[in-house]
Amino acid sequence: MVFANLDRARRSGRTLMSDRQSDSDHTAEPPAASELKRKLLAFARDFPFFRHMGFDVEDMAPGYARVSVELTDHLRNPNGQLHGGVIATLVDMSITQAMLMTDTYERVRETRGIMTNIDLRMKYLRAVGAGRATVESRIVHEGRRVVHAASTVTDDRGKTVALGDATLMIVQGEGTKTRT
């Protein structure tokens, strides 16, 4: 399971990220967050599925992630464009990356709970025939049981090629202490 493997990457950086950065300043991080980010980015670089797909986690912060992929032959649909399933997978994994440094995911991990995507919706606006596709995902609402995220996928020219949104379900594990 991906989350179990990511837990290994988080284990030595167990500090809760209580100081959220705004969307405009997601790069200013306290030292503990910076170390956690370094470990998560290193984990993503070595994760077999991400390497197979060519996904590059470029940046992440609590509630934010930017991930890209270069269009290669094995990612093309029969029309020669970036396959829509690749774009949907890019959005899905980017939203997960945006969650990994949040307090919500920290509680899920600590209680051995689960976080799962229960609804992923895509709107495809134009094709990607060459270059890179880059997705930026943001957590829009982070509740105790439900998380909503939104993503924008752009091409090399900065044109929006797809929009995605997702609803994640959070289930705390045994012995959960609810924060109010």
Locate the domains of the chain by residue range.
2-171
The mean pLDDT value for 139-162 works out to 96
Q: Note the pLDDT of residue 116.
A: 95
pTM over 0.85: no
Of 10-24, 27-41, 108-122, give the lowest mean pLDDT range: 10-24
Summarize pLDDT for 86-135 with one digit per residue, the tens: 999 999 999 999 999 999 999 999 999 999 999 999 999 999 999 999 99
Which candidate, 32, 54, 33, 36, places its Cα nearest to that of 45? 54
Question: Contact 99/147 with Cβ under 8 angstroms?
Answer: yes
Q: How many CB atoms lie within 10 A of CB 137?
A: 29
User: Which residues have CB under 8 Å from 147's CB, separation 6+?
Assistant: 99, 104, 115, 139, 141, 167, 168, 170
Q: Note the pLDDT of residue 11.
A: 43
Look at residue 79 and tell me whether its pLDDT is greater than 60. Answer: yes
The mean pLDDT value for 76-84 works out to 96
| 3-class SS letters over the chain | CHHHHHHHHHCCCCCCCCCCCCHHHCCCCCHHHHHHHHHHHHHHHHCHHHHHHCEEEEEEECCEEEEEEECCHHHECCCCCECHHHHHHHHHHHHHHHHCCCHHHHHHHHCCCEEEEEEEEEEECCCCCCCEEEEEEEEEEECCCEEEEEEEEECCCCCEEEEEEEEEEEECCCCCCCCC
Per CATH, the number for 2-171 is 3.10.129.10
Look at residue 48 and tell me whether its pLDDT is greater than 70. Answer: yes
- Between 12 and 111, residue with greater pLDDT: 111
Look at residue 26 and tell me whether its pLDDT is greater than 70. Answer: no
